[in-house]
Amino acid sequence: MSYEHPLAYLLGVEGLALLRGFIGEFDQKFVDDRIAEVRRLVNDDSLRDAAVDVARVEPDEGYRLWARSYDAGRNTAFDFDEPMMIEIIDPLPPGIALDAACGTGRWTQHLTARGHQVIGVDGSPEMLAHAQNRAPTAEFRQGDLRALPVETDSVDLVVCSLALTHAPELDPIIAEFARVLRPGGHLALADMHPERVLRGAIPTLRRANGQPARPASYRHLVGDYLRAALRVGLQPKACVEPTIATDPEPRRPARDLGPWEVWPWSLAELVPDASDAADDGVPVMLIWHFQLAQ
């Protein structure tokens, strides 16, 4: 169970902004404004009793809950992973491709359209049902990323997006990707950047009884991916950390917290200048292209 207090989030954002001011990125007025804003937040009665207890659910339960609404609206993370992943995937010749943690089949559909013979693997039967409808010519198998139901040396390309943040360990999963790849095969991997996980970029869900929940998420550092890949013969060809543009102009703070489902985004709007300063130049995604040694 997590205890999500909006004041804790807001003070954390202010602290990140103040640290950047401390090393000279902002002037005295900015620092004075932040300290004044901290005082205002601490004295804001509307924040005192707004905390929420949030269940931390395992990925299988989380994706089962999420399957009902996953395709209802476009996930803003797609705006960051798709251009970079497509840049990796599209120049590769058609072959046998594995969409690992395929979810509702977003990448399966793209790979099929590019002429690949696609195997989609996911632990959620609810997600797989959506994927089958989306990409009817692909083959789908229910399975665990740590023990893929795929033959050794059998695929030319592995694609995995927005999944490994929810895995406690990278090594066994990346070792499985290397196992199923043929020599010279490619791995295209995208996930939330650890800095974004630190800032609360974790999906919001609700259990059947209405209890707020988030899937268990882990901060894997950039070096964690690299070390796990090198151990199994995967060589890095590219690493991209796209950032989000922040507003250079001062903005008026929002007036209310918004519903829990839009935390932390609505919380950030309560302190827009601090949030922009804390986020400036901080990556949103971590995208890798690896190739298995010949």
What does the pLDDT look like over 35-54, one tens digit per residue?
999 999 999 999 989 999 99
Residues in the chain: 294
Q: What are the tens digits of pLDDT across the range 8-44?
A: 999 999 999 999 999 999 999 999 999 999 999 999 9
pLDDT per residue as tens digits for the range 74-123? 577 788 899 999 999 999 999 999 999 999 999 999 999 999 999 999 99
pLDDT given at position 75 = 72
Contact present, 47 and 6 (Cβ < 8 Å): yes
Residue type, 154: S
Question: Hey, how many other C-beta atoms are within 10 angstroms of the C-beta on 156?
Answer: 19
CA atoms of 169 and 233, how far apart (whole Å): 18
Pairing of strands 52-57, 212-215: parallel
pLDDT at 250 exceeding the cut of 90: no
**Residue 88 to residue 86: CA distance in whole angstroms:** 5
Per-residue DSSP letter, 167:
-
Where are the extended beta strands (E) located within the chain? Answer: 2-4, 52-57, 96-100, 117-122, 139-142, 155-161, 181-192, 205-206, 212-215, 234-240, 285-292
Name the burial class of residue 256, with classes exposed (0-12), middle (13-18) and buried (19+) by CB atoms within 10 angstroms of its CB: exposed
Confidence at residue 93, expressed as pLDDT on a 0 to 100 scale: 97
Q: 63-72, 156-165, 251-260, 270-279: lowest mean pLDDT where?
A: 63-72
pLDDT over 80 (residue 210): yes
> Above pLDDT 90, what percent of the chain?
80
pLDDT of 58 higher than 90: no
From the list 250, 242, 241, the residue with the least C-alpha distance to 276 is: 250
What one-character DSSP code corresponds to residue 53?
A: E
| Least confident stretch, 59-73, 153-167, 274-288 | 59-73
- Quickly list H helices, 155-287: 171-180, 194-198, 222-231, 265-268, 272-279
**Residue 249 banded pLDDT, cuts 50, 70, 90:** confident
